[in-house]
Structure 1
Amino acid sequence: MVRIHSLAERPELLVPALALGSIGAEFMQHDHVGTLARARRLAKRWPEFFLVLLDDDVPVARAVGVPLVFPDAERTELPDLGWDGAILWAVEDALDERVPTTLSAVDLHVTAAHRGKGIAAAALKALGERARDQGLARLVVPVRPTGKQDHPHLPMSDYLAFSRPDGSSVDPWVRTHERAGAKFVKIAPFAMTITGTLAQWENWTGAPLVPGHNVVEGALSPVLASPEQDLGIYVEPNVWFDHPLTDG
């Protein structure tokens, strides 16, 4: 039986939660905005939204959210910056001491051995319940479609048009949100931006970049390389889903 605890309830679960590993390839750990959302920072600032899922008292997944203000007069749409934008909004609101109204998921990771068992869906449900219990109105998620990496040159809009015979998305992670009753909101074209020198990219990926567009393992879109500027740029699109919360 899977049980769920927040770090506010059991702070000792932080270390085993971190030991579950990181999401994505090595290069994804070098998003500069992401430095604001290091797990230890989130655990210290918002422990009530850092959830750990245990199976027979063994951590098998974590689900982490950040509270923010949305919508309001200045924020009428979810940010095109996606994951990066959610983090920036949450930090801005914390510094400005604004009362949040929405929870955005920023990290949901299930160990490989426990995938396909409904744990990700349980984690999403738990985040939504925690948001509601804390007086928030909705859960939003900048979804990173896991199958998009097999189609790096395809625009996200075209990839999202792929469906199964029953009409659901071919992408398993998108499909998890659909089954949870979440509503597609928009594509976030600039959800994560990672820049580095060509040497840094070779270190991150294990292979040199060539001039122009490069397909990199684990990337949803190509990495653009400029030898003249000694620069590699990766801009990743994600997809916003909205999970309106109800009582009960």
Structure 2
Amino acid sequence: MRMEDLATRPELRRAALDLGTVGGEFLSHDVVGLLAKSKRLATRWPEFFLVLPDDDVPVARAAAIPVEFPTGERPELPEHGWDGTLLWAAEDVMDGRAPTSLVAIEVTVAEHARGRGLAAVMLTELRAKARAAGLSRLVVPVRPTGLEQRPNESIVDYVTRKRPDGLFADPWLRTHERLGARLIGVAPFAMTVTGTLAQWREWTGVVDGLNTVPGGIAPVLASVKRDLGVYVEPNVWLDHPL
């Protein structure tokens, strides 16, 4: 298998998207996430949209965006995590700022190809891309996959869970850790999805109060009185050495 990117193989984009998405379908209704539409990323930063084909059929993909960080205005990574860095990237394009860091916003592996270490391969290639582009670091707002089993637990408590060998209990955090990444903070408001009760019932089926929903790593707060549902997802900031 040879790693490709959409700068050289733009025709792989559609097949790469067929690998599916992470989390519940409702995450596609994060309005900031519209900035991360694959066609937009493939047009603006195709060199950072990676595809790993097996006999020309994609089995993994990864996407990253370059941002200017750190700066006087941005001394710390945003508490709004995934959403926040997408807004940073949009600001930098509009303001003409030169990027200094790369932010990985997605790594997806086909279900049948999981367990082969391909996620680590994608992260390693993103680090190589960042170095080749002259950027100083690769940072990742990581969505802890195991938190789906503990959606009512705080992210601060969750990241303290360790195995007997001292590594993270969460498998996705552990993948990063084994590559040398270090935890540098949490993003308590990484993704926010709001909608009416009718919309949330269509997406997940919710009732008044706190709701645990499939594909969520945090509860949905629904209010019949206000006809509103709100989901706020936390992430974990990890820094990969270059």
TM exceeding 0.5? yes
CA displacement 1:164-200 (0-9 Å, x = unmatched): 1100011110000000100101010000000001110
**Structure 2 CA distance for aligned equivalents of residues 162 and 18 of structure 1:** 33
Q: Is 1:149 equivalent to 2:148 in the alignment?
A: yes
Please, which runs of 5 or more residues in structure 1 have no aligned partner? Answer: none
Q: Supply the distance in 2 between the matched residues of 1:193 and 1:137 (Cα, whole angstroms).
A: 29
Alignment of 1:2-151 (within 5 A): 2-151=1-150
Q: Deviations over 1:85-116 (max 9, x none)?
A: 11000110011111000000111100111111
TM-score, structure 2 as length reference: 0.98
Paired with 2:57 and 2:213, the residues of 1 have a C-alpha distance of 34
CA-atom RMSD in angstroms: 0.8
Supply the distance in 1 between the matched residues of 2:40 and 2:224 (Cα, whole angstroms). Answer: 36
Given the two structures, how large is their TM-score scaled by the length of structure 1? 0.96
Deviations 1:107-152 (A, max 9, x none): 1100111111110000000011011101111100000000001001
The counterpart of 2:229, out of the listed 222, 227, 232, is: 232
Matched residue pairs, number?
242
* Residue 216 (structure 1) aligned with residue 213 (structure 2): yes
* Corresponding residue number in structure 1 for 2:169: 170
Q: Distance in 1 between matches of 2:50 and 2:178?
A: 21
CA deviation after TM superposition for structure 1 residue 228, in Å: 1.0
Task: Determine what percentage of the aligned residue pairs are the same residue.
Answer: 59
- The CA distance in 1 between the partners of 2:29 and 2:153, in whole Å, is 24
Shift of 1:57: 2.6
Tell me how far 1:229 sits from its aligned partner.
Answer: 1.0
> How far 1:64 sits from its partner (Å)?
0.3
In 2, Cα distance between equivalents of 1:57 and 1:166: 39
Q: Distance in 2 between matches of 1:225 and 1:11?
A: 41
Structure 2: any 5+ residue segments left out of the alignment? none
Instruction: Find the residue that maps to 2:2 and give its secondary structure.
Output: strand
Partner SS state of residue 207, structure 2 = coil
The one-letter amino acid of 1:79's match is P
Aligned counterparts of 2:241 and 2:85: Cα–Cα separation in 1: 17
- Deviation track 1:187-222 (CA, whole Å, cap 9, x = no partner) reads 1000000000111011111x2x22211111111111
What is the CA-CA distance between 1:56 and the residue it aligns to?
2.9
Matched residues in 2 for 1:154 and 1:19: separation? 32
Instruction: Give the Cα–Cα distance (whole angstroms) in 2 for the partners of residues 216 and 121 of structure 1.
Output: 28
Q: How many angstroms does 1:224 deviate by?
A: 0.5
Name the CA distance, whole Å, in 1 between partners of 2:159 and 2:173. 9
Q: Which runs of 4+ in 1 moved over 3 A?
A: none
- Measure the CA separation in 2 of the matches of 1:20 and 1:210: 31
Q: Provide the rounded CA distance (Å) in 1 between the counterparts of 2:17 and 2:152.
A: 32
What secondary structure does 1:87 align onto?
A: helix
